[in-house]
Structure 1
């Protein structure tokens, strides 16, 4: 083709490429928004998610470009060959780092934590060596003599997806540990449970698990076009976490008072578990149950929407560990449920006095210590078996 003519085929846009490019643009946009947010606030979680979205965008490049026919064009083919777009060994550690930073804002990746990124660094160096050898030593295609993109080699795809699978499982384990511990630490755990994180991780686990299964069992399964649906689904999942993660970053900035506390470390050895509260016998626990009940009735600390275990322990004159023992053993519940029961009781009494006729149910809930209508409705239904409006209606019938 003469140099002054434009290859019109480059201007055509197949449906597959259009859909993938739309997902890439979406992820890139939210990635930039999150990057800006991370630079303006001292929260590393937004930065990690921005990196995940950038890597997800790059991951889709070979398939979007492939449907455009770039692998068959000089210049474009070399770009796809030598730039390692599919950083599978990097996505997994970034997902794990993001989950850790989100669930523990005080966490910083340092020291041995950076070893998680070593395999990805090795692959980047491998890609650089291939480029330098072909460009300056061999002077021709050497590593790419077979015309295949090394990012798509079965060994790299298998190792990469295995890595992503492992880090997704580690992230799920970290999340479940967080959900287990947070209800024993704060009275507003519903506001910081991040259920969307669990959904994202489970969807990612499903996608990665299926892809890895087919890579191992059927390494030559399907054509280039048939795999498009997998990449489209991957992009959709990335878009979901982009919206949820950005929304959470903005929400946390707007309501920073609902802080995620430092959670306790790993559980003690089995020998220590046998007598976790050796300083408190049954008589002590029963006595402190009475004192705690008196404190809750007279001082009503549950009306503090930011109440946590440390605050209550200080008011009671016990350690966090002792306070937790009293609540767990004498009231047979965790700290979050214990405080919310008092809040529900306060709202119920206010309704019984007819205060809901002068004020909204939400106003009563906020005064009792709840931080949102959603949490109030959920806890009220769980504790009473009725929604707040059903409870009001039942009183009107009496």
Structure 2
């Protein structure tokens, strides 16, 4: 056994609650990325980028887990090899948000620009990737096991890449700050389009993006705290704890939205539709449903819409589900709430009660009106009414 082998053998292994939590996050991230990549439609770029984000995040978290537990000594040649992937996390998170909000493709050269910093960083570290094992041992032990002795390195070893390497964590911090700002600006500029599922955007996307933006801010705060308190990688396990929670929360969110919790999850409801698909386009359905006499009635139904277009109700349901992200009730309620907002702000209805306005647009009860209104706008009708009545 060589002197270097003896030094590597001295690296201790440790397993504690942190390592178990991080491992569960890594496993969850890989599984969720695989499921999304396999099941998401090719046209859904938001989910594709989100799956790629989860994959990169899982690889980076696995690297930190190996370093923290000491298992990195068995794959020491790969130490710090995932650093370029960390610079992909912020742009991938931004791109998933961007395609969720703006359903238009980007030119490939623009997408490539987002990946350029990570590529340039990887090229700058080419020298490190081909360094002997002793150099990688010293880099690893210096960050995680300061008490262990250094290994002898070959004479003439150059560290030209080290200047850029020392700035990696600040590049990461800057990336999250930059892309977080871009995401918040995009969300703010498009926020009004989220309130109406009939406008081709489902309210849950608004909430999802809002939660992701919160995650951006939390990640930025954690990075800043860790980097200010640790000069090396010893604080990275705090970051990976949050990323593990992020991946597990994503898994829970996708599971809660899945058909597993529907009564008929074993049978696709669209499989019951008979005959060829004769569903009209969404604009035609929107024009029909937007008639006040239809959506303000107490019994607007898929059957009536389907009969109007000579197709099966499941075909209409599928069209609305796939192109708006909401169901038929969300679609109808979008028009109802929009009309209710107009009436709540109109002088002609100033003497009406909130319940009366709700009934006038088709809601049978005050509770159903409040629930739909809050889902569409993020506030109750009373809070909205108060906001429009306050003097400027």
In which range does the TM-score fall when normalised by the shorter chain?
0.5 to 0.7
TM-score calculated relative to the size of structure 2: 0.58
Residue matched to 1:375: 372
How far, CA to CA, are the matches of 1:162 and 1:124 in structure 2? 17
Residue matched to 2:339: 339
- The match for 1:167 among 162, 179, 190 is 179
Residue matched to 2:43: 42
How far did residue 170 of structure 1 move? 1.2
Which residues of 2 match residues 217-366 of structure 1 at below 5 A? 217-218=228-229, 220=231, 224=234, 227-244=236-253, 299-300=293-294, 337-341=337-341, 348=359
SS state at 1:194 partner = helix
Runs of 4+, deviation exceeding 6 Å? 9-12, 149-152, 254-257, 303-306
Residue matched to 1:120: 118
Whether contact under 8 Å (2:22, 2:65) holds in the other structure is yes
- The match for 1:106 among 87, 104, 107 is 104
How far, CA to CA, are the matches of 1:229 and 1:250 in structure 2? 34
SS state at 2:43 partner = coil
1:313-333 alpha-carbon deviations (Å, 9 max, x no partner): xxxxxxxxxxxxxxxxxxxxx
Judged with a 3 Å threshold, the aligned counterparts in structure 2 of structure 1 residues 200 and 351 are, in CA distance, closer, same or farther, namely: closer
How far did residue 124 of structure 1 move? 2.6
Cα RMSD after superposing both structures = 4.9
How far, CA to CA, are the matches of 1:14 and 1:192 in structure 2? 37
TM-score calculated relative to the size of structure 1: 0.57
1:81-109 alpha-carbon deviations (Å, 9 max, x no partner): 4x225622111110111001111233345
How far, CA to CA, are the matches of 1:305 and 1:151 in structure 2? 66
SS state at 1:87 partner = helix
How far did residue 244 of structure 1 move? 2.8
5+ long unaligned stretches in structure 1: 2-6, 262-294, 307-333, 386-398
5+ long unaligned stretches in structure 2: 2-8, 144-161, 261-267, 271-278, 284-289, 303-333, 344-354, 384-392
Residue matched to 2:66: 65
Judged with a 3 Å threshold, the aligned counterparts in structure 2 of structure 1 residues 41 and 153 are, in CA distance, closer, same or farther, namely: closer
Whether contact under 8 Å (2:340, 2:361) holds in the other structure is no
Judged with a 3 Å threshold, the aligned counterparts in structure 2 of structure 1 residues 51 and 249 are, in CA distance, closer, same or farther, namely: farther
How far did residue 189 of structure 1 move? 5.9
How far did residue 201 of structure 1 move? 1.8
SS state at 1:106 partner = coil
How far, CA to CA, are the matches of 1:170 and 1:238 in structure 2? 22
